[in-house]
Homo-oligomer: A and B are copies of this chain.
Amino acid sequence: MGWKEIILGKAEKTKEAALNALNYTSSQKDAFLSALSANVAGNKDKIIKANKKDVSGAAKGGCSSAFIDRLTLNNGRIDRMLKSIDVVKSLPDPVGKKIWETTRPNGLRIEKVRTPIGVIGIIYESRPDVTVEAGILCLKSGNGVILRGGKEAKQTNRALAGIMRDSLREAGLSEDMLNLVSEGGRMSVKYLLSLHRSIDLIIPRGGESLIRMVAENSLIPVIKHYKGVCHTYVDRDADLNMALKVAFNAKVQRPATCNAMETLLVHKDIAHKFLPEMAEMFRKAGVEMRGCGKTMEILRGIKKASEEDWSSEYLDLIVSIRIVDSAESAVEHINRYGTMHSEAVITENKETAAGFFKEVDAAALFHNASTRFTDGGEFGLGAEIGISTDKIHARGPMGLEELTTYKYLIHGNGQIRQ
């Protein structure tokens, strides 16, 4: 059997399992999570052993140390996996939740209830933590899941997927609710993206080139978790001490995340007062600053920001700084260069904040708070599969509810249409 037949077979089996899963109860799905927790804990050595093979292969293959770090599993990281399983188990099951109801003049009672999407394909890089996280979120929301991870994590993913399938079976559920696809090379991803009869949604997780490749080749709907070029705008009417604290946090607290600030926009009227203090804090924290012409007049000696800088997701201790004439110019800059992720305004002026909230086109808008809060956990949504930068279906943190769709249930007593 060629790789196409194998992949098609796995996709069809997952689809069939997902249709049967429409009957699964919350306690059945939680029983799976309990079994999984026990099996991951009981097989730590086996998982780490498989992972060591992958890590040594990646090291021989000349992968970067950052790459190998993301690939590596150790006791601490497996403990974090176990914690994720507990968190997802504790979350309410979205399936069956009634989100709307009406009774029509003709007596038809219409309910709108949440139901699983079907089969979700996750295409990701060599990060074994994604294997478990994505798997449990899709399964808890009643979806079948097809995992296609990076080839460097093959052994680890095989061990983890095997444990998830065993745990499904132990809980009396179909093991085909989860299938790992590792056949074929790059071409197999494109093939997977053509199987729109079996797969209902594709979520790519990884860098820009992976996401672009998936979006360009998929016949299946894709929800992109794209980059975050996030801004903080310090308004003329800002509490400058708050602005210093919030902008510093947005840049420095965890710069490698998609909700970290990349560009600081400052109103011209307070720039002379605000920027030197801000720059002092950034300098002490080792943040490289790149400024517009006006910024360079205030902060002598910093690098000039190029046009490219305004669209850059540094994911690092680098910040671009621009002085703007008004809140409106800040909004224009953000709508032009931003990625519709997380945007903050610091101001004591309620009207300015309201305008910013209305006019900026992004998933999460913050008034007097750090963009770092865009996160399923921080929003109280529980665990998240990622942060959507798309506008269709899900925007911002994507939790269990966003992994469902809905159906209309119409209760009649013989109604016919006139």
> Any chain B CB within 8 A of the CB of A83?
no
Q: Which of A40-48, A57-65, A213-221, A300-308 contacts B (4 or more CB under 8 A)?
A: A213-221
Q: Are B392 and A393 in contact (CB under 8 A)?
A: yes
Q: Are A412 and B368 in contact (CB under 8 A)?
A: yes
Closest to A336 in B: B19
Beta-carbon contacts under 8 Å, A238-270 to B: 239, 242, 245-246, 248-249, 253-254
Are A363 and B414 also in contact (CB < 8 A) when A221-B221, A391-B117, A393-B393 are? no
Q: Are A417 and B201 in contact (CB under 8 A)?
A: no
Beta-carbon contacts under 8 Å, A71-130 to B: 102, 104, 108, 110, 115, 117-118
> Any chain B CB within 8 A of the CB of A210?
no
> Any chain B CB within 8 A of the CB of A285?
no
Kindly list chain B residues whose C-beta atoms are within 8 Å of the C-beta of A370.
Answer: 415-417
Besides A23-B359, A115-B361, A223-B392, 18 more A-B contacts (Cβ < 8 Å) are A19-B335, A19-B361, A104-B379, A117-B391, A118-B361, A201-B391, A216-B219, A221-B222, A245-B414, A365-B407, A368-B413, A370-B417, A373-B415, A374-B408, A378-B417, A395-B405, A395-B407, A396-B407
> Any chain B CB within 8 A of the CB of A283?
no
Q: Are B102 and A391 in contact (CB under 8 A)?
A: no
- Of the listed residues A110, A221, A367, A391, the one surrounded by the most CB atoms of chain B closer than 10 A to its CB is A391
Beta-carbon contacts under 8 Å, A191-226 to B: 200-201, 215-216, 219, 221-223
CA distance A78 to B356 in the complex (A): 41
Q: Are A362 and B407 in contact (CB under 8 A)?
A: yes
Q: Are A405 and B417 in contact (CB under 8 A)?
A: no
Closest to A372 in B: B417
Closest to A393 in B: B393
> Any chain B CB within 8 A of the CB of A337?
no
Closest to A259 in B: B417
